[in-house]
A and B are shown apart, each in its own frame.
Chain A
Amino acid sequence: MAEDRIGVRKTYKLYIGGAFPRSESGRTYEIVGGSGHFLANAAQASRKDARDSVVAARKAFPSWSAATAYNRGQILYRVAELLEGRRSQFVDEVALAGGLSPADAQREVAEAIDRWVWYAGWSDKIAAVAGAANPVVGPYFNFSVPEPTGVVAVIAPQSPSLLGLVSVVAPIILTGNTCVVVASERSPLPAVTLSEVLATSDLPGGVVNLLTGFTAELAPGLAAHMDVNAIDLAGVEWSVVAELEHAAADNVKRVLLPSETDWYTDPGTARLTAFLETKTVWHPVGV
């Protein structure tokens, strides 16, 4: 009986400022699974969509960065709870996207959820690791605290489609940054589903903005955007890094270069500190 029923297909859209628009360009592109068959049409974001995303991320930055670390940790943990609830959906999507065996898909989704939980716990601890009270000469109290860099553009890893994405996005937003993410070009569908999870979580709109489309079309504009403070090039080919870094120089963006990464190993704090600024405050000590 079930096989007689015509399935309801899902429309995959962009996620900008907490809403799910289609690309302003009206374009879509065809997503095929690991075995080469048609999966869905994804929105093909334009440079204008990227621009709108930067505006949304900038708008979200003041309140998100001012939220308490505890609050950000709670919100991220809530996201992990929702991911866990949609686990089987993610397993299916990850399997289709990457042509993975059910066991490998299970493993990736489990690791992605655990990674998200791991980062959620860092929210009120990273300052103790990356900050300090500095013993300066003279009657001054001097302390350094890590603060978010601002709006971060992210070219997510091409694969693993979900674990790679989670591994780059979670540390960026956990520390108070907001971001514009270009999902894996070949396998963007788990990313879109993640954005649906985020939309139903307590994460304020605009903290994560997710674009599907062509990296070659979107990355140069983001690298050159003067209101983007940093860019994570995790998912770009090395051959285009020089061009993107060149563009990123215009406003002295912080650039995190792509590197050979085993996404299943302990990530350490490098991705947390990559988008943190150290602020040092001095005050006299006297009566």
Chain B
Amino acid sequence: MSATEATLPAYAGFADATRSEASLRLFLHGLPGVDAVGAEGRIAGLGTRSIKKDAKLWALDMAIRMVDLTTLEGADTVGKVAALCAKARRPDPSDPTAPAVAAVCVYPDMIPTVVDRLRGSGVKAASVATAFPSGRSSLAVKLADTKDAVAAAADEIDMVIDRGAFLSGRYQHVFDEIVAVKEACGPAHLKVILETGELVTYDNVRRASWLSMLAGADFIKTSTGKVSPASTLPVILVMLEAVRDFAEATGAKVGVKAAGGIRTAKDAIKYLVVVKETCGEDWLTPDLFRIGASSLLNDLLMQRFKQATGRYAGPDYFTLD
């Protein structure tokens, strides 16, 4: 860790807020509320943005670069993961101009394979951890899970928060776990999964976003993909507002990852519009926005083909991995 990185963490200015369970609760419940209809109305409005021509091409490539190509199945094998890594490095074998994705996201035991197959590509190895997806284990197990992945050279750790603790108001517990996992991450970037489908309200999403950022998250992430609803545009809006306000308050830029349920290029572009109009162009980088997906990538490639050639593509021309 270099000297500059050793400076005080972003949340230091909020020491008063994180001092105790009571102060944390006061802070989180003092955040402005979210009017659900208003937030959804804002998304409906942004959903009418019409992205054409150069803007669309740019957005498609950016969306590909933001993809965390993901497989999180009990049936995952080395073969499956290896194929995914090949796809991640070179999504469209017929078109070398297609960019690589941001990362490959797997369970911890697959990290050695991922690290091996991605070596030299610049594509990151991301591991879920902390008793993903439910998070229902002891802190010791969660930390061991994390350290295991980090030891295997994972670049990024996607942890889950304890939603049970959050919903029962034990914010300090959630906070402390994130702090501990962050420490266990060492140099690896920490993405904190809120599992917004279980938090249900936008007010909870805003509070969980702030709680995670105060505890040191590098990214806040919507979902595990195992709970419905997964990522939705209004949820992303609320999370983006939180990172925007956090940056305003601290100068620190936290990333946002939308995971689950984003299957079409059209959807992905809507996410980019929301990013642009909420946080500005600064967040339109894989360093600050990610899309966790699997089938989305081929639709992005097909649309890219259409934009480049004027012809509609067919699924048989893109690899299924």
As a 0/1 sequence over residues 196 to 233 of chain B, the CB contacts with chain A under 8 angstroms (1 = contact) are 00001100000000000000000000000000000000
State whether B200 touches A286 (Cβ < 8 A).
Answer: no
| CB of B37 within 8 Å of the partner chain | yes
B38 interface residue (CB < 8 Å to A)? yes
Contact assessment for A284 and B35 in the assembled complex, using a CB-CB cutoff below 8 Å: yes
Least CB distance from B229 to A in Å reads 14
Q: Do B200 and A284 have beta carbons less than 8 Å apart? A: no
| Residues on B with beta carbons closer than 8 Å to the beta carbon of A285 | 37
A70 nearest CB across to chain B (Å): 34
Is B151 at the interface (CB under 8 A from chain A)?
no
Number of residues in B with C-beta < 8 Å to the partner? 7
Interface residue count on the A side (C-beta < 8 Å): 7
12 additional contacts, CB 8 Å, given A284-B36, A284-B37, A286-B35? A138-B37, A139-B37, A140-B37, A284-B35, A284-B38, A285-B37, A286-B36, A286-B37, A286-B40, A287-B36, A287-B200, A287-B201
- Residue of A139, A140, A284, A285 contacting most chain B CB atoms (<10 Å): A284
State the main secondary structure of chain A at its contact with B: loop
A: which residues have CB within 8 A of B? 138-140, 284-287
Contact partners of B36 in chain A: CB under 8 A: 284, 286-287
In the assembled complex, which residues on chain B have CB atoms less than 8 Å from the CB atom of A138? 37
Minimal Cβ-Cβ distance residue in B for A140:
B37
In the bound complex, how far is the Cα of B35 from the Cα of A25, in angstroms? 60
Q: 15 pairs across A/B with beta carbons < 8 Å?
A: A138-B37, A139-B37, A140-B37, A284-B35, A284-B36, A284-B37, A284-B38, A285-B37, A286-B35, A286-B36, A286-B37, A286-B40, A287-B36, A287-B200, A287-B201
Residue of B nearest to A285 (CB): B37
A211 to B89, CA, bound (A): 92
When distances are taken between beta carbons in the complex, the residues of chain B under 8 Å from A139 are 37
For the complex, give the distance between the alpha carbons of A286 and B37 in Å: 6
Chain B 25-39 interface residues, beta-carbon cutoff 8 Å to A: 35-38
CB distance from A81 to the nearest CB of B (A): 50
Residues of A within 8 A of B35 (CB): 284, 286
Residues of B within 8 A of A284 (CB): 35-38
* Bound-complex Cα distance A286 to B40 (A): 10
